[in-house]
Structure 1
């Protein structure tokens, strides 16, 4: 058994959405209202790009098979956007140098997620890189932030998302919501087909193959 399925949930929306909300709340309570709003806006814009890309493929079949590009990796985007800021804020209690080390640790975590996505056949290289690029665009908005939050506010960064995940079945909440929104989007755009792609590795040659399936919505 590999460790990849254990790592993937840390980039899933059922975990990253509460985590992104906890960052905004910690910034807001710490007196950084403008930065909290900026974080929500930038992270929301990143999510919008991911959703737009997935809709383009899922409902329209838009893709670049020659590049192995079918949709932008939301896992790669969210980990790249969230974890550098998360660790930077947590380590900031120890000083500016520690905050920079935290930022680098967050980048390392996002890189490990990228490797996991590739090794586990969750995404192709181009999809993963595209997600990292979108996440990096969000990262660039807070590279020069020098924040000093109180320990009580810093504790929210971990305590709040953990509490949400433990008290609320986020998978049972997020996944049906996604499915309902996708159905609504199909109606809005008049889509008649839904596209899905699957990545597999040949056990003999080790060659990775991508297959696209089309399902009629009518």
Structure 2
């Protein structure tokens, strides 16, 4: 038995993976973007972050729709679409922690960003451990989300201390309470319905279909 298959560890992975859900990440993202917009020249930076994340969401959804509706994927890479949880975590947590660490010492700010990166890393690992995604799909999520973060972090925006403190407390409470108390939204079901409607097919393509056709 692998350590990840132990009941207690398995529950922890399920809690961790919820930190990448859209319903958990997006409110934090909007809070961070609004907070960032309060700083000098922050509004344009916040709008840039919103636009970049929007592009990442469309790309991620399109990759899933393409596979579920038409079977467009890669059997060699075991790829059926970009991991949305991983993408959200990689695109939001590093900039979010950067906002919280804004105005501190360079070392403290780098540490805050590093915490965001580690959190995104762990969310991606959870998707693989829980067998929700393959290695290639998690890597694609890190790549797409990471590009968003890099573009945002390249333009740091100082944020007033009071706003940073408020965001930290609000974000900490949200991350602590939401995964344990709020039911997950079935985003995959919504994407599946959209893919079938667009493709006109009666049943979705699955990973089993992809890999069986590759043999």
TM over 0.5: yes
Of 22, 26, 29, 2:35 maps to 26
Give the distance between the partners of 2:51 and 2:57, measured in 1 at CA: 10
**Residue matched to 2:146:** 136
Q: Deviation of residue 85 (structure 1)?
A: 0.7
Structure 1 residue ranges without an equivalent (≥5): 198-210, 214-218
Which one scores higher on RCO, CA 8 angstroms, separation ≥ 6? 2
Aligned 8 A contact 1:58 1:194 in 2:
yes
Q: Quick one: distance in 2 between partners of 1:158 and 1:71?
A: 34
Aligned partners of 1:9 and 1:15 also within 8 Å: yes
CA distance 1:123–1:178, change in 2 (3 Å): closer
Q: Which structure carries more helix by proportion?
A: 2
* Residue number among 185, 188, 200 corresponding to 1:190 in the alignment: 200
- Work out the CA distance in 1 between the residues paired with 2:142 and 2:154: 20
Cα deviation, 1:176-196, whole Å, max 9, x if unaligned, reads x76456534532443333123
Q: Offset at 1:44?
A: 0.7
Deviates more, 1:185-194 or 1:86-95: 185-194
Q: Give the RMSD, CA atoms, in angstroms.
A: 2.6
Comparing 18-27 with 121-130, greater Cα deviation is found at 18-27
Query: Aligned in 2, Cα 1:194/1:128: closer, same or farther, shift over 3 Å?
Result: same
The CA distance in 1 between the partners of 2:168 and 2:57, in whole Å, is 20
Question: As a proportion of its length, which structure holds more strand?
Answer: 1
**Is 1:148 aligned with 2:158?**
yes
TM-score, normalised to structure 1, is 0.78
Quote the offset at 1:140 in angstroms. Answer: 1.9
DSSP 3-state at the match of 2:94: helix
